[in-house]
Amino acid sequence: MQHAIEVRGLDKRFGQVHAVKNVSFTLSYGEVLGFLGPNGAGKSTTMKMICGFLEPTAGHVTVAGHAIDEDPIAARRAIGYLPEGAPAYGEMTPRGFFEFIGRVRGLERRYLESRIREVVARIHLESVIDRPIETLSKGFKRRVGLAQAILHDPRILILDEPTDGLDPNQKHEVRSLIREMAAEKAIIISTHILEEVDAICSNTLIIADGRLCFRGTPAELQSRSRQHNAVLLRLPEMDAIRVRGELARLPGVAAIDDLGRAGASRRLRVCAHEGRPIIAPIAERVRALGIEPEEIAVDYGRLDEVFRNITLGSLTDNRRALT
Ligand SMILES: Nc1ncnc2c1ncn2[C@@H]1O[C@H](COP(=O)(O)OP(=O)(O)OP(=O)(O)O)[C@@H](O)[C@H]1O
Ligand SMILES: [Mg+2]
């Protein structure tokens, strides 16, 4: 099957700044790709090149089967793009802006009117539809940008931090919207909210210092955590030392972290060797000692810890490569 997006050896230099370094990946319809990376990693630059808003220094982008440099009109027709920041044309009202965008995209008048009605209702823009965009709050400006991106119902969406600046209810709404649209579209979102990746993305891509350093599912990302499949235990303080000594001898236990006292109890985290499940033998051993744990639970790992390790590790590697 034809890929929705194909990126090969994409590279971008701004003078001395090497913003994107030899990035390649593909994306299929039905996928939501979460694009992660620290500030300045090259996410927005990559997205702009995919949409044809920025010319790459090297490399190729194919969108819906059209090479962006050879057939930019057909490629752009297939794409809806939410750039970072607020929409241009701040003096227009959202209604005027959507009508303008619709005409630029060559949408037939009646179809455009019905799309505007649908999108305005879906993104809850009724209350601001006739106010100049520049007078709207940050979150509403963001929502106007998102509405503009989906107006022509494109099969491919490139959304640069779509939930940035939204209140929690709207974040929830926009995530639901993305999930609803996901089945028949190919969507790339960039985000700094790691839970968002878990909530809506089927795949993730991490970029650091312009270089791709991870591609996999959110679960695969989480499984790289040192804490993946660790067991959290809360025990009476008087039993903690004995349990600790016993569990340390169990095969499959990599380390035991003392998480401190909580009242008359102590909390321990038993880390699993290579993230393999260990809750069953741990529960069995604790009970064999005649101790009933006050709490026993599996920790699936922390995305923020994995993100830090991957991105900081990659920066160190790059620095090493330079010296
Ligand atoms: N027009 C430009 N001229 C010069 N340098 C630029 C330009 N646009 C981006 N850069 C640089 O390219 C690098 C990547 O920037 P980019 O905006 O793609 O990062 P990002 O991953 O989107 O970051 P953020 O999370 O802050 O949005 C940065 O060092 C940035 O300063
Ligand atoms: Mg950005």
| Position 53 pLDDT exceeds 70 | yes
Q: Would the CB of 19 count as within 6 Å of ligand 1?
A: yes
> pLDDT tens, 82-108?
999 877 788 999 999 999 999 999 999
> What's the CA gap between 258 and 151, in Å, rounded?
53
CA of 44 to the centre of ligand 2 (A): 4
With a 6 Å cutoff on the Cβ, whether 45 touches ligand 1 is yes
Determine the Cα–Cα distance for residues 182 and 31; give it in Å rounded to an integer.
6
CB of residue 16 inside a 6 A radius of ligand 1: no
**Distance of CA 42 from the midpoint of ligand 1 (Å):** 6
| Nearest atom, ligand 1, residue 43 CA | 21
Cβ partners under 8 Å of residue 64, min gap 6: 2, 4, 74, 75, 78, 79, 155, 156
pLDDT at position 320 over 80: no
- Domains in the chain (CATH in brackets) are 5-222 (3.40.50.300), 230-299 (3.30.70)
Residue 318 predicted with pLDDT over 70:
no
Assess whether the C-beta atom of 41 lies below 6 angstroms from ligand 1: yes
Ligand nearest to the CA of 10: 1
Residue nearest to atom 30 of ligand 1 (CA): 40
Cβ–ligand 1 contact at 14 (below 6 Å): yes
Note whether 298 and 279 are within 8 A (CB).
yes
Q: What angle do CA 320, 222, 256 make, to 5 degrees?
A: 90
How far, in Å, from the CA of 17 to the mean position of ligand 1? Answer: 9
CA distance 147 to 81: 10
pLDDT of residue 14: 97
Is there a contact between 1 and 155 (Cβ–Cβ < 8 Å)?
A: no
Tell me, what's the pLDDT at 86?
74
User: What share of the chain has pLDDT > 90, as a percent?
Assistant: 84
**Ligand 1: distance of its center to the CA of 227 in Å?**
33
pTM as predicted:
0.88
Mean pLDDT of the chain: 92
Residue 285 CA to residue 35 CA, distance in Å, equals 42
Measure 40 CA to ligand 2 centroid, in angstroms: 7
Q: Is 37 in the pocket of ligand 1 (CB under 6 A)?
A: yes
| pLDDT band, residue 250 (cuts 50/70/90) | very high
Strand partners, 268: 233, 258
C-alpha span between 234 and 216 (Å, rounded) = 33
Average pLDDT over residues 63-82: 94
Q: Which atom of ligand 1 is nearest to the CA of 15?
A: 4
Q: Where are the alpha helices (DSSP H) in the chain?
A: 43-51, 72-77, 94-104, 109-122, 138-150, 168-182, 194-200, 218-222, 237-248, 279-288, 303-322
Q: Determine whether the shortest distance from the Cβ of 100 to ligand 1 is under 6 A.
A: no
H or E stretch at 33: strand 32-36
Provide the 10 A C-beta neighbour count for residue 220.
13
Does 55 contact ligand 1 (Cβ within 6 A)? no
CA of residue 46 to ligand 2 center, whole Å? 9
Residue 191 beta carbon below 6 angstroms from any ligand 1 atom? no
Which residue of 12, 13, 17 sits with most ligand 1 atoms within 8 Å of its CB, as the best mutation to test the pocket? 17
Half-sphere exposure (Cβ direction) of 267: Cα atoms closer than 13 Å: 9
Q: Is 275 in the pocket of ligand 1 (CB under 6 A)?
A: no
The per-residue DSSP string of 73-92 comes to: HHHHHTEEEE-SS--S-TTS
